[in-house]
């Protein structure tokens, strides 16, 4: 079984984010592996471990986990982190022409890298903590023509039967779904507890292969991606005034009464 996991480097979700020229200013914030992608990496590892004679991922498991990431040079740091969790190898699509790409361009690039790789299963997080659109997994399924099993709170893979079953968890409740390979899966954060990379894992990750590909390598022309090809544009972006610090009271035995008075004064009740 060949599994691809899409990972993205994002500004640290604790860092202040700013706009620059209509797009997120990525250079100004610390960059980390999108924490929602860690659940995808962890789930891939668990699927391999459950189906491996050695109960371990890596060589001898008979399965491979390939990370796929699009981003600038420094995205290597996030890729190494995911490799140190136990993924086998990575493909890093890195090209000066990619800056400012929107979700349509990103899904195009990722879908090309995926369709070239002979994968059975693609696993993603539900969204990135920077753009938060939550559309890439669905767009990948649409572009690849693969089954879409997304927002999974649990995943079961039967590699022999080449079948995937999930419990899709959304506002509508839970839908138990299944499909045959190849499948695009996205996992919600409730699904597992991502492991911390071990020292051994961190050392091993340094020797793992990261294949860097350009736009030409994945067969995409420069006019299909980047900020010039973006299919929506930002007219303006203004910083909203910070929420003015509100009233803060210490509960001296009448905190509840004061709260009720505040709500009455604001005509909420």
Partner 1 sequence: MSEVLILVDAVDGKVAKSTGELATFAKAIGKVSAVIFDASLVSQLSAYTIDNVIICNGIDVTKFSPAPVAQAFAQLVASKSAAAVLITSSSRGKEIAGRLAVATNSGIITDASTIDSDLVTTQLVFGGSTTVHAAVTRGTTIATLRSNSIEPIVGSGTPTTEEFTPTISDAAKLGQVISTEPVVKGGRPELTEASIVVSGGRGTNGDFKPVEAFADVLGAAVGASRAATDAGWYPHTHQVGQTGKSVSPQLYVACGISGAIQHRAGMQTSKMIVAINKDSEAPIFELADYGVIGDLFNVLPQATTAIAAKKA
The structure tokens listed for 197 are: 């990379």
- What are the C-alpha distances in Å from 61 to residues 6, 36, 64, 145, 254? 21, 25, 8, 28, 63
- The nearer residue to partner 1, 76 or 101, going by C-beta atoms, is 101
Shortest distance in whole angstroms from residue 2 CB to partner 1: 18
Nearer to partner 1 among residue 19 and residue 203 (C-beta): 19
**Rounded to an integer, what distance in angstroms lies between the CA atom of residue 46 and that of residue 61?**
12
- CB-nearer residue toward partner 1: 51 or 165: 165
Shortest spacing between CB 102 and partner 1, in angstroms: 8
Q: Minimal distance in Å, beta carbon 13 to partner 1?
A: 5
Looking at beta carbons only, is 138 or 210 nearer to partner 1? 138
For residue 190, what are its two tokens? 């409730």
> To the nearest whole angstrom, how small is the minimum distance from the Cβ of residue 166 to partner 1?
9
Min CB(193)–partner 1 separation in Å: 9
Adjacent-strand bridge partners of 170: 173
CA-to-CA distance for 13 and 188, rounded, in angstroms? 17
Residue 118 exposure: Cα atoms within 13 Å on the Cβ side: 4
Residue closer to partner 1 (CB basis): 46 or 143? 143
- Cis amide leading into 182 (omega within 30): yes
Cα 16 to Cα 19, 35, 114, 265: the distances in Å are 10, 17, 33, 34
């Amino acid at each position: 079984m060949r599994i691809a996991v899409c990972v993205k480097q994002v500004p640290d979700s604790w860092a202040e984010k700013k706009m620059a020229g209509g797009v997120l200013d990525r250079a100004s914030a610390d960059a980390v592996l999108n924490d929602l992608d860690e659940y995808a990496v962890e789930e891939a590892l668990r699927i391999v471990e459950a189906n491996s004679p050695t109960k371990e991922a890596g060589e001898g498991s008979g399965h491979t986990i390939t990370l796929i990431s699009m981003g600038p040079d420094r995205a290597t740091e996030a890729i190494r982190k995911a490799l140190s969790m136990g993924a086998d190898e990575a493909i890093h699509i890195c090209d000066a022409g990619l800056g400012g790409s929107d979700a349509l361009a990103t899904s195009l690039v990722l879908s090309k890298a995926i369709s070239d790789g002979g994968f059975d299963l693609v696993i993603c997080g539900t969204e990135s903590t920077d753009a938060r659109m939550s559309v890439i997994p669905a767009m990948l399924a649409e572009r690849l023509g693969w089954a879409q099993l997304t927002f999974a709170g649990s995943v079961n893979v039967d590699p022999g039967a080449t079948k995937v079953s999930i419990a899709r968890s959304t506002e509508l409740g839970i839908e138990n779904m299944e499909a045959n390979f190849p499948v695009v899966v996205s996992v919600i954060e409730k699904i597992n507890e991502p492991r911390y990379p071990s020292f051994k894992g961190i050392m091993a990750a340094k020797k793992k292969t990261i294949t860097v590909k350009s736009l030409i390598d994945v067969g995409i022309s420069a006019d299909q991606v980047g900020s010039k090809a973006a299919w929506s544009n930002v007219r303006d972006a203004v910083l909203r005034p910070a929420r003015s610090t509100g009233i803060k009271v210490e509960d001296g035995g009448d905190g509840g009464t004061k709260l009720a008075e505040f709500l009455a004064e604001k005509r909420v009740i």
